[in-house]
Structure 1
Amino acid sequence: MSPGLFQFNEARQKFSIYTKEALNIKNVKPLILIFSQLSGGETEKKTTLDQAFRGVLEEKILEQVECEDFLAIISLSINGVTEGICSATTPFLLLGDVLDCLPLDQCDRIFTFVEKNVGTWKSATFYSAGKNYLLRMCNDLLRRLSKSQNTVFCGRIQLFLARLFPLSEKSGLNLQSQFNLENVTVFNTNEQDSTLGLKNFQHTEDREDGMEVEEGETGDEEPTTTCSVPIDYNLYRKFWSLQDFFRNPLQCYEKISWKIFLKHSDEVLDVFRSYKLDDMQASKKKHEELKPPGEEHVYFAKFLTSEKLMDLQLNDSNFRRHILLQYLILFQYLKGQVKFKSSSCVLTDEQSLWIEDTTKAVYQLFKETPPDGEKFSSMVEHILHSEENWIAWKNEGCPSFVKERSLESKLPKPAKKRPAPEDFFGRGPGKKVLMGNEELTRLWNLCPDNMEACKSESREFMPTLEEFFEEAIEQADPENMVEEEYKVVNNSNYGWRALRLLARRSPHFFQPTNQQFKSLPEYLDNMVIKLAKELPPPSEEIKTAEDEDEEEDNDDALLKESNEKLQYQETELNKGTPFYTA
């Protein structure tokens, strides 16, 4: 074997030893050290360390150690992922191994660790690698738990998944609006096995005979009520058969099923109207005072359908609210626009009118049900109104709530325009800007408005073609016998300005030509010849003696005006580069 070849068994044994050492000192440094010393590829060493973690965890499970030892190994693997010495999936594999091997009471403690580290699982390092592992782990736990006996634990798992996954996660949205048809409510469907009729008969016979009833037999601890509708098997069967419609609302669109639902609902709601519950605020406070400290409220997610409980359930305000709320949820689905609802699922006018009247009746029953009926009714109405927003969101395909930046916002923003000095020193004809120097102050205040000064005709520095190429045309004339090296077209500065001027004022600059030029002076010579043919010859005026005298008299004035104009142009050059300057 060559010395650089990776030895799996040897590396796994060393990793196992150093993993136990790291557990003892509660630090990942020993593993980082041995990871850097072993030869082989990084992927090979990571895979081997993953196996070492699972091997050490297996030993701890067989030793039946405390949950803290399992959590220490998992925490060590998390640090290993952060340090880049093991795979990102390792902590999730270890969690799955532990939860598969431990009883439910210890799984509760392990899951507490999972809940506390939800921020770690949502980080970029772990989320992509572990989200499917966590989802599978939670679903396996839910299969082992009882929804009626482990209600709180099941709720914690659901809340953890809601915190872990984003709101737009498709796996938890029920996009096709399917119903949980497995949620079947089981009750007595055989009238011959019912004891309701016999029980009512015995109570009536006992009261007619004047027999004394012991305290507690008639439920004196519950609020006393009077009912105009007898509680018999017929009412019991109709009452619990409504759960099948709440489970599968699509039955309400069938003609026969709707008649059954309508008949049963009218009778059940009549019973609720007949059973007027007393205000139980006083009895509730008394019950809370007698309640032992530390006793927690137990919630059962599934209805108890025993016939013996029917009387007590009708006198229970919480139970009544559950049933009435189911009606409102059902009505919201029947009336609402759901994307995946079949086109045949349409309510008739008669059905819509009945639903509208029944909805008002349900809210009225909410208000009449103590305690805090008015408050509870308004709260339910608000929640159902908010639910309509979620329905509309799902109908739109569940778009992400994270708004993408528009193209305009992604482009770099232009630099802010530098404010003009007038914004600092003020405006107006009488406002003089002091620049700190007498000459600068004079030049700056020549015009009160800078924009108007820039538009002035005196700012026009671009010469005409005749003026600029006059010298070049004269030098191009053979009669003048100007040597080639002394021509202005050979000056690079002159050539650059000549090209800019031709681009602005000469059509020859853009006309295509087959003639090729090796240099800029050669090109300018050609352009000068063309311009000489087009431009008019300079006019020669015969000056008289009188004109010469007048011209001599104005020499001083013209010279002074020329000097002032030159000074002005030089000042303006400091503000902006003129067109023809290099």
Structure 2
Amino acid sequence: MSPPLFSLPEARSKLTNVTREAVTSKNIKHLLNVFSQVPGSENEKKLTLDQVFRVVLEEEIINKVSCENCLAIISLAIHGVTEGVCTATTPFVLLGDVLDCLPLDHCDRIFTFVEKNVGTWKSSTFYSAGKNYLLRMCNDLLRRLSKSQNTVFCGRIQLFLARLFPLSEKSGLNLQSQFNLENVTVFNVNEQESTLGQKQVEDRDDGMEIEEGEMGDDEPPNSSSIPIDYNLYRKFWALQDYFRNPVQCYDKNSWKTFLKYSEEVLTVFKSYKLDDTQASRKKIEELRSGGEHVYFAKFLTSEKLMDLQLSDSNFRRHILLQYLILFQYLKGQVKFKSSNYVLLDEQSFWIEDTTKLVHQLLCETPPTGDKFSKMVEHILSTEENWNSWKNEGCPSFVKERQPDNKPLKVARKRPAPEDFLGKGSNKKILMGNEELTRLWNLCPDNIEACKSETREFMPTLEQFFEEAIEQADPENMVEKEYKVVNNSNYGWRALRLLARRSPHFFQPTNQQFRSLPEYLENMVIKLAKELPPPSEEIKTVEDEVEEDDEDNESLLKENNESPEILQQKLVTGELIESLANKLGEQWKTLAPHLEMKELNINAIESDSEDVKMRAKLLLVAWQDREGVNATAEHLIIALNQAQLSELAESLTNDTENGS
């Protein structure tokens, strides 16, 4: 018998009933049993259960049941993903449905559940499937929330996103350092509509509300003594446009305006200081004990609030901190900042002096001004590290772990120059291999070796363009598509060669060329007229190979000796024995000139107390290290450098007698 076919209405009915029971009992076991018994493929049953979860959640939202049932359905979906009975995106779809339908006070409780399960969202099962859903859900919430009324909720959302996504997440780094130009501060720009010049006493006699400067016993100190007029009001709020878009400061005229407005505002802050009175301290303690949050929403630019704002310590700190952030951007190195945005010396000096003034004003602003200033300085220093990290391309902070079966690398001490450079005038460089050492030291001066004519690899114009000149001749009847000038690789090398060897490359011309092959054809015609005709003597490949072999043989004769001659020059065991007996206590004088390290010298001293044996060990160690280069000639040179001329002469005689 064939297995029963999948029936969507029947499966949806069964799963809906068992899901409602699971929400009430908060147990998923019965749901798993029913899911396994429903006929059909796993994919069909998963999609059906996904739809059932959304239908049951919709019923709960319509019936206005408590948030606990909504959270229970979402928890069932999370367990369902873990058990493999529903898709990984289902919990995030349910969260989006709930937050879209419920009011903000209920959304706060739902989001608390989201915060507590941040570890679940970051797991491999959910992260890749749900990160975009969570980001979209948080952005939708932020659009609904008021930045002034729901400040704490907005902050919780931002902190959640910071915990969810890694530091290297490109969407949250603002790599191109763009500014939020939509953050516009609106204030009264019409002086005729301003009320700052009117007298407030007449309004008070008429029974109208108390306006600025008339707060009674709770009036902040010095508020009534600050001369506030429309001119100060306009300049003060006009500075917000520079804080919003600091690029304006690089413009000469805009900088003059910013400088003028800033000096006047900072003079007001400097002239009218706030006092850390007992009343203000008592008010701050009440706020702290009551657990209330002190924050500023988008600036309130009413003229009636101007005197109160200037007398408020939090407001002053807000404005002064904006100055420090602006100065840090103007002075800092930003990767995507235009090359034209450079400060003049006068601007840099003014920023340095003003930065000191701002920190001084922060220290003088109660309460605990010194502590607040140091904290701000620390935060801005970490911001510089953040900018440097972004300028370097945001390298990963995660270090690769060593495999368990692989031993950790021990940090090696950096070798001293004398460890790989010889001592004395010849300074032989040891490359760690006999053949590499021989090749590297063929020429004592490597700079001169690099300047050798044999290292000239750039061809002449005749050699390189010989084939192109032949193809350009009409008599050869070479079709255009088969010419070498059409090869992009050939064209690139031709331009580089012309720039180095041909004066025609830099001559101005009114003739315009549509393509590189067309330009090269014109240049080949010019070169063909100037270059001498090719020689009629044509060398065969065999002749060139024979000449190369002869050159190589002559080069080997210059730099190398035959094996028989080389064998005669090598130091023998008898010669080492004889020299060691004569060397005796002077072996330690010779050791540095044989390029022996201090470590090897100490090892020789520990191996034997007999000076003749130590001399023999020294010569044997040198012979083992040099190999085919351990010749009597090199040993004689070392003896002469150690001022052991008698031994050098004796060794010379022994060598000649032996030969």
Task: Answer yes or no: is 1:342 the counterpart of 2:338.
Answer: yes
User: Is the contact between residue 12 and residue 49 of structure 2 (CA under 8 Å) also seen in structure 1?
Assistant: yes
Q: Percent identity?
A: 75
User: Is the contact between residue 317 and residue 362 of structure 2 (CA under 8 Å) also seen in structure 1?
Assistant: yes
Gap regions ≥5 residues in structure 1: 207-212, 415-582
Residues 293-302 or 136-145, more deviating: 293-302
Aligned residue among 311, 314, 334 for 1:315: 311
The amino acid across from 2:78 in the alignment is: I
User: Is the contact between residue 212 and residue 304 of structure 2 (CA under 8 Å) also seen in structure 1?
Assistant: no
The amino acid across from 1:376 in the alignment is: F
Q: Which residue of 2 aligns with 1:138?
A: 138
Any residues of structure 2 matched to 1:100-115 within 5 Å, and which?
A: 100-115=100-115
Q: 3-state DSSP class of the match of 2:197?
A: helix
Task: Summarize the Cα distance change of 1:219–1:313 in structure 2 as closer, same or farther, 3 Å threshold.
Answer: farther
Shift of 1:260: 0.6
Task: Answer yes or no: is 1:302 the counterpart of 2:284.
Answer: no
- The 1-side partners of 2:336 and 2:119 are apart by 35
User: Is the contact between residue 363 and residue 373 of structure 2 (CA under 8 Å) also seen in structure 1?
Assistant: yes
The amino acid across from 1:354 in the alignment is: W
4+ long deviations beyond 4 Å: 200-203, 213-216, 226-229, 288-295
Which deviations, in whole Å up to 9, do the C-alpha atoms of 1:300-330 show, x marking residues without a partner?
3211111111111111111111101100000
Aligned residue among 395, 401, 411 for 1:399: 395
Any residues of structure 2 matched to 1:321-470 within 5 Å, and which?
A: 321-405=317-401, 412-413=406-407
The amino acid across from 1:267 in the alignment is: E
User: Is the contact between residue 314 and residue 320 of structure 1 (CA under 8 Å) also seen in structure 2?
Assistant: yes
- The 1-side partners of 2:100 and 2:199 are apart by 49
Shift of 1:216: 8.3
Question: Of the two, which has the highest radius of gyration?
Answer: 1
Q: 3-state DSSP class of the match of 2:188?
A: coil
- The 2-side partners of 1:125 and 1:98 are apart by 22
User: Is the contact between residue 77 and residue 90 of structure 1 (CA under 8 Å) also seen in structure 2?
Assistant: yes
User: Is the contact between residue 60 and residue 70 of structure 2 (CA under 8 Å) also seen in structure 1?
Assistant: yes
Residues 359-368 or 298-307, more deviating: 298-307
Shift of 1:364: 1.1
Q: Which residue of 2 aligns with 1:286?
A: 282
Q: Which residue of 2 aligns with 1:48?
A: 48
Q: Which residue of 1 aligns with 2:266?
A: 269
- The 2-side partners of 1:217 and 1:152 are apart by 32
Which deviations, in whole Å up to 9, do the C-alpha atoms of 1:354-382 show, x marking residues without a partner?
10111111111112212212222111111
Q: Which residue of 2 aligns with 1:258?
A: 255
- The 1-side partners of 2:289 and 2:178 are apart by 43
- The 1-side partners of 2:302 and 2:328 are apart by 30
- The 1-side partners of 2:404 and 2:177 are apart by 37
Shift of 1:223: 3.7
Shift of 1:392: 0.3
User: Is the contact between residue 223 and residue 278 of structure 1 (CA under 8 Å) also seen in structure 2?
Assistant: no
Which deviations, in whole Å up to 9, do the C-alpha atoms of 1:314-356 show, x marking residues without a partner?
1111111110110000000000000010010000111111101
- The 2-side partners of 1:284 and 1:225 are apart by 13
The amino acid across from 1:42 in the alignment is: E
Which deviations, in whole Å up to 9, do the C-alpha atoms of 1:161-214 show, x marking residues without a partner?
1111111111111111110111111111111111111147979x99xxxxxx99
User: Is the contact between residue 226 and residue 307 of structure 2 (CA under 8 Å) also seen in structure 1?
Assistant: no
User: Is the contact between residue 191 and residue 230 of structure 2 (CA under 8 Å) also seen in structure 1?
Assistant: yes
The amino acid across from 1:271 in the alignment is: V
Using the size of structure 2 for normalisation, the TM-score is 0.58
Q: Which residue of 2 aligns with 1:224?
A: 221
Aligned residue among 206, 221, 235 for 1:238: 235
**Larger relative contact order (C-alpha < 8 A, sep ≥ 6)?**
1
Task: Summarize the Cα distance change of 1:108–1:228 in structure 2 as closer, same or farther, 3 Å threshold.
Answer: closer
Task: Summarize the Cα distance change of 1:174–1:217 in structure 2 as closer, same or farther, 3 Å threshold.
Answer: same
- The 2-side partners of 1:11 and 1:215 are apart by 70
The amino acid across from 2:42 in the alignment is: E
Any residues of structure 2 matched to 1:19-30 within 5 Å, and which?
A: 19-30=19-30
Residues 363-372 or 341-350, more deviating: 363-372
User: Is the contact between residue 22 and residue 30 of structure 2 (CA under 8 Å) also seen in structure 1?
Assistant: yes
Shift of 1:17: 1.0
- The 2-side partners of 1:273 and 1:45 are apart by 72
Which deviations, in whole Å up to 9, do the C-alpha atoms of 1:421-464 show, x marking residues without a partner?
xxxxxxxxxxxxxxxxxxxxxxxxxxxxxxxxxxxxxxxxxxxx
Task: Summarize the Cα distance change of 1:200–1:395 in structure 2 as closer, same or farther, 3 Å threshold.
Answer: farther
The amino acid across from 1:312 in the alignment is: L
Shift of 1:40: 1.7
Any residues of structure 2 matched to 1:180-199 within 5 Å, and which?
A: 180-199=180-199
- The 2-side partners of 1:137 and 1:401 are apart by 28
- The 2-side partners of 1:343 and 1:200 are apart by 52
Q: 3-state DSSP class of the match of 1:43?
A: helix
Q: 3-state DSSP class of the match of 1:183?
A: coil
User: Is the contact between residue 229 and residue 274 of structure 1 (CA under 8 Å) also seen in structure 2?
Assistant: no
User: Is the contact between residue 275 and residue 314 of structure 1 (CA under 8 Å) also seen in structure 2?
Assistant: no
The amino acid across from 1:83 in the alignment is: E
- The 2-side partners of 1:349 and 1:292 are apart by 45
User: Is the contact between residue 196 and residue 307 of structure 1 (CA under 8 Å) also seen in structure 2?
Assistant: yes
User: Is the contact between residue 213 and residue 307 of structure 2 (CA under 8 Å) also seen in structure 1?
Assistant: no
Gap regions ≥5 residues in structure 2: 409-659
Shift of 1:232: 0.2
Task: Summarize the Cα distance change of 1:296–1:228 in structure 2 as closer, same or farther, 3 Å threshold.
Answer: closer
The amino acid across from 1:25 in the alignment is: S
Alpha-carbon RMSD: 2.8
- The 2-side partners of 1:236 and 1:288 are apart by 28
Q: Which residue of 1 aligns with 2:77?
A: 77
Residues 374-383 or 345-354, more deviating: 374-383
Q: 3-state DSSP class of the match of 1:197?
A: coil
